[in-house]
Amino acid sequence: MSLATAERAALSDTLDELGPDRPTLCAGWTTRDLLAHLLVRERQPWVSGGIVVPALAPLTERAMAGYAETPWSAMVDELRGGPPAWSPFRIGRVDETANGAEFFVHHEDARRGEPGWEPRPADRERDTRLWGLVTRTGRLFLRRSPVGVVARRPEGATHVLKTGPGLVTLVGEPGELVLHLFGRDAARVEIEGLPADVQAYEAVERGM
């Protein structure tokens, strides 16, 4: 089973349990807002440009607001049922590329918005796919880093994400590393290195 397929099902179950009015890690978004974002992105791509283009944000926000009165169970069922027949997300390779990280990160946004959250138990297949995401795409997220960056799993596997003067090592389970790369503070990642290198890395990561 692909990461996108597994996380779609797991996220749907979590949202079903939480309901529409719970906080998430996405600033200002409830679980309803998060789910509306996912449905607009998948079912109304012609108005979803505001996700990445600020000038188009009002169009995307209006589309999301269109779900304000939709029954929660119907929204969850739409996500669980997958993209419409005409959507390119119906193609397995496209779905995995576009939705694997998206669903995993937003699943954790919902889970970790709750007090007392804990990481999910290790899952060999999921962790293998998430480690693949780290090694393939980490450099894209770290292009502004002023120092070199290495990712290391607690069990010892390492991968160079970026070369440069100085060095920091990001240590964590694959899912935690993915969340860190996506800018989530609620990620259990240790940053190792000389104090000056760590400070330089964190200054950029925090937008200082």
Closest CA to 4 of 105, 104, 127: 104
The pLDDT tens digits of the residues spanning 138-150 come to 999 999 999 999 9
Backbone phi, psi, residue 207, to 5°: 75, 25
Residue 117: pLDDT above 60? yes
Residues near 6 by Cβ (< 8 Å), separated by ≥ 6? Answer: 125, 126
8 A C-beta contact, residue 78 and residue 39: yes
At residue 208 the predicted structure's pLDDT band, cuts being 50, 70 and 90, is very low
The pLDDT tens digits of the residues spanning 31-64 come to 999 999 999 888 887 666 656 556 667 777 787 8
8 A C-beta contact, residue 20 and residue 64: no
Q: Count Cβ atoms within 10 A of the Cβ of residue 27 and give its class: 0-12 exposed, 13-18 middle, 19 or more buried.
A: exposed
Q: Count Cβ atoms within 10 A of the Cβ of residue 130 and give its class: 0-12 exposed, 13-18 middle, 19 or more buried.
A: buried
Task: Describe the crossing of helices 174-181 and 124-141 by its angle, rounded to 10 degrees.
Answer: 30
Percentage of residues of the chain with pLDDT beyond 70: 93
8 A C-beta contact, residue 117 and residue 161: no
The pLDDT tens digits of the residues spanning 146-197 come to 999 999 999 999 999 999 999 999 999 999 999 999 999 999 999 999 999 9
